Chains A and B, each alone.
Chain A
Amino acid sequence: MGQEEDLELYRSRLLESLNSRSSRFPQGVSDPIQVYVNERRVGELEGAGIGAMLQVQCVEHIDTVQLRTEEGVLLGGLAAPEHGFRTDRLRISTDAIELCVHNRAQGGTLSALFIPAPSFWGRAWKSIAEIGDRLVAHRPDTAPAYGMRMVAFTQVLLAIAVVGLVADRVPTWMPPERMPSPVVQTASLPASPPTETARLEQQLTEVARIQAKIGEALASQQNGIVQLHQAMAKLSSNQESMASGVVTVKEEVKEELEKRLEAIGRDADRATRHIASKGRVEQEQLEATIHTLTADNDRLSKEVAGLEEHNQTLKAKLQTTVVSTSKAVDPGPERLLKMADSIQATQQAPFLFWVTFSEGTSQESIDQWVNGMKGHKGVLNEGWQEVRIVPPPVPPDRFLEQIRGDKIIKAARINQ
């Protein structure tokens, strides 16, 4: 019968297309990349855009993330762990996309960041100020009125912080001394004599360099933690039939891990405070800290490997271990981000307010005004500009009164 042949032909055609997947990869990406979470489309990443980033917060847990071209070609993706983090870097010719998923009890978050080929970077840092607008422009359409279950959003400050951290974690194609520093680019310097400015700039560069190192160290800690999450998840998954007879997990291993994670946390905190409080930092001391962190991480990884080996015996009790360890682990990336924030603003929680400008105010003077407050522009919504600054020394109402006095300000308010 022709039917059987027909079926066999269909099967081999499907196999062929699965097998040739990789050769269908585009040479570079110029069109937006479609981002799917749990097989539902959540937005897109501007392929050719500099520092394009998509942040998605889901009410549900994130199971899978997929990236596709407009043709539908599956470029990459990841399967998220039930709890905790997973990051993956996907290369598309010379560009790359960094994915980071975090699942928590209350849902999941995804950030996807497009990292263009090195040649783009020169331009990238010059236009970092524009990123805000661009991100706003690329924000996926959301219609809050219609009871959505998934909210996609982008945040300028966060984006800049992440761009900075990611850039610092990509040392392969750029020697560190040439690495553009996000701090220098985004922090605004007060008007001061040229020499003073130069000195400040130098200091900031130094801080940025150290920040890069800490970022790296923390990232590798993060890696260790991710591995740990993975190992735990693997072990507890039902991939193999349960060995009969309950075997006890060695409590001391668990405790040791928790202790170490706590220590990592303390060290990171210390480092952060250190940077935040002083403009200039004693490098040796920090480097020593970083060395300890790295060594710790190595030991951690070895222990994780050891755990892997003994997975048969450890399985029974790991479910509980997963829960408690993840709890200990959780604040990791938040801390990373906070650190970036604190370096930029020497303050942890930015103060947020909205303003409109008087008619005919030029973009330049708006930027000047924002810079004058050492602020960052957020989204622009129906004429209202979001601004983030270091919390002012006066109460919010007083502060608003003060800025309403500024010539270029038409109106100001706290809530959107």
Chain B
Amino acid sequence: MPVTRMQSTGSKSQTMSDRTATVSRLEEVVSTPDEFDQVVLQALPILLDRATASTKRFLRETGQWNDDIEHEKFALRWGSEYLERFLICGRTEVPCRPLFLFDSLVAKQHSKPEPFCYHPDLLRPLGRFLDGLAARAVISRDALIALFHHAYGWGPGEVIAVTGLNGVESQRIYKNFRRWRESGWQRTMDEMGLTKTELAELGNQQQRHRQRFNSEAERLIRVAQAHYRKSEPDHYPCLSRSQWGEMFTQGYGCDYRIWHLALCLDCMQTAWGLGSSGSNVGEKPRLELQVRP
């Protein structure tokens, strides 16, 4: 059973010959999606290690590697990201040889201009936390909406007011918040490899040196946002106040507002007060990082 083998955590308990057999099975042609699933699910540890090694190699070759646990985690994280996409998309590529297909998928990822958001400071706990939030926001609407909370401490009502949403959209925001609190946040922390100790330490720093903590967070979140904004729909660019104003008053660009404002500190300042929060235009919002959901 692949599961038992996996739960006994991986390479050490797996004998060499076992591994060789699995690898050679991966090299053979699979011809149906079911067969693909079966072969690939048995080989998850091998494939994860393979993608991780390849990511490490890429980082080394591009001068972004350092021999420490942060870099190891980074490579692992992206390895597993690639593997997840492979599990879903690979099965539509049958007939194929899974191992070669996987290698080419990883190679394709690494041939993109900026395959991931790499910055040495983003590898430390605070950076990893922010990178994780922004990366997740790209693939999860729950996480996207949660960014408003983590950056400014807002609840659903404030998010709705600030982005000027209508009734139907508002309901979704409440749902997004709820799911994020229930499971989304924890899952994101797990996937970023943030431990309880690290999260507690972040909370401590926040309490003891609030200002320094927030200004460091602002510096890092800008790096992450700039990278992940590239995956916005249609490449939504930053707008001027009058352009934002037009969008708010005419009521279009709902998605634009949500996506871009969540991922752009500057535009949040620019568009401040245009939503139905217009009446309580107080001070412009400042980054006030929240660690907990």
Within 8 A of A (CB), among B143-182: 143, 172, 175-176, 179
Bitwise interface map of A from 17 to 55 toward B, beta carbon under 8 Å scored 1, else 0: 111010000000001001010011111000000000000
B266 within 8 A of A: no
Looking at the complex, which one of B183, B231, B254 makes contact with A40 (CB distance below 8 Å)? B231
Contact residue among A11, A74, A79, A151 (Cβ-Cβ distance under 8 Å from B90)? A79
Chain A residues with CB under 8 Å of chain B are: 3, 6-8, 10-19, 21, 31, 34, 36, 39-43, 63-64, 66, 68-72, 74-79, 86, 88, 140-143, 146-152, 230-231, 234, 237-240, 308
Q: Do the beta carbons of A19 and B140 come within 8 Å of each other? A: no
A-B contact pairs, 13 of them (CB 8 A): A6-B193, A14-B76, A16-B6, A18-B84, A41-B231, A42-B234, A43-B233, A64-B85, A77-B85, A77-B88, A86-B92, A143-B236, A231-B95
B114 to chain A, nearest CB (A): 12
Q: Does B80 contact A (CB under 8 A)?
A: yes
Chain A residues lying within 8 Å of B138, measured Cβ to Cβ, are 41
Chain A contacts for B9, CB-based, 8 A: 8, 11-12
CB distance A146 to B45 under 8 Å? no
| Contacts A7-B73, A39-B231, A78-B92; A70 near B176 (Cβ below 8 A) | yes
What's the count of A-B pairs with C-beta under 8 Å? 165
A residues within 8 A CB of B254?
141
Give A13's nearest chain B residue, CB to CB.
B190
B234 x A150 contact (CB < 8 A): yes
A11 near B10: Cβ-Cβ < 8 Å: yes
Closest Cβ–Cβ distance, residue A307 to chain B (whole Å): 11
Residues on the B chain within 8 Å of A234, using CB:
93, 95-96
Please determine whether A7 and B140 come into contact, CB atoms closer than 8 angstroms: no
Q: How far is the CA of A17 from the CA of B237 in the complex (A)?
A: 34
Q: A74 touching B85 by the CB < 8 A rule?
A: yes
The reply to whether the CB of B44 lies closer than 8 angstroms to some CB of chain A is: yes
Do the beta carbons of B89 and A78 come within 8 Å of each other? yes
- CB-nearest residue of chain A to B190: A13
| Residues of B that sit less than 8 Å from A by CB | 2-3, 6-7, 9-10, 41, 44-45, 48, 69, 72-73, 76-77, 80, 83-85, 87-90, 92-93, 95-97, 100-101, 104-105, 108, 136, 138-143, 172, 175-176, 179, 183-184, 187, 190-191, 193, 195, 230-237, 239, 247, 252-256, 259
* Inter-chain contacts of B255 with A (CB < 8 A): 140-141
Residues of A within 8 A of B97 (CB): 239-240
CB distance from A144 to the nearest CB of B (A): 10
- A14 in contact with B89 given A31-B175, A141-B255, A141-B256 (CB within 8 Å): no
4 closest cross-chain pairs (CB), A and B: A72-B140, A148-B234, A78-B92, A14-B80
Known contacts A11-B48, A13-B190, A140-B255, A71 near B183 by CB under 8 Å = yes
Contact yes or no, B10 A71, CB < 8 A: no
CB-CB under 8 A from B193, the residues of chain A are 6, 10, 13
Report chain B residues within 8 Å CB of A240: 97, 100
Closest to A74 in B: B88
- For A143, the chain B residues whose CB sits under 8 A away are 234, 236, 247, 252-253, 256
Give the CA-CA distance A145 to B69 in the complex, in Å: 46
Q: For residue B136, which residues in chain A have a CB less than 8 angstroms away from its CB?
A: 72
> Given A10-B193, A141-B252, do A15 and B139 touch, yes or no (CB 8 Å)?
no
Give the Cβ gap from B11 to chain A, nearest Cβ, in Å.
9
Q: Contacts A18-B87, A79-B92, A143-B253 known; list 4 others, CB within 8 Å.
A: A71-B179, A140-B255, A146-B236, A230-B95
Contact A41 B142 (CB under 8 A): no
Considering residues A36, A79, A88, which has the most beta carbons from chain B within 10 angstroms of its beta carbon?
Answer: A79
* Known contacts A3-B69, A70-B142, A76 near B88 by CB under 8 Å: yes
* Contact A72 B184, CB 8 Å, known A15-B48, A17-B190: yes
Find out whether the CB atom of B190 lies under 8 angstroms from the CB atom of A7: no
CA distance A18 to B37 in the complex (A): 12
How far is it, in angstroms, between the C-alpha of A405 and the C-alpha of B218 when the chains are bound?
63
For the complex, give the distance between the alpha carbons of A75 and B91 in Å: 13
Q: Count chain B CB atoms within 10 A of each CB in A6, A10, A230, A240 and give the residue with the most.
A: A10
Give the Cβ gap from B244 to chain A, nearest Cβ, in Å: 11
Whole-angstrom distance from the CB of A357 to the nearest CB of chain B? 22
Q: With both chains docked as a complex, state the minimum distance between the C-beta of A20 and any C-beta of chain B, in angstroms.
A: 10
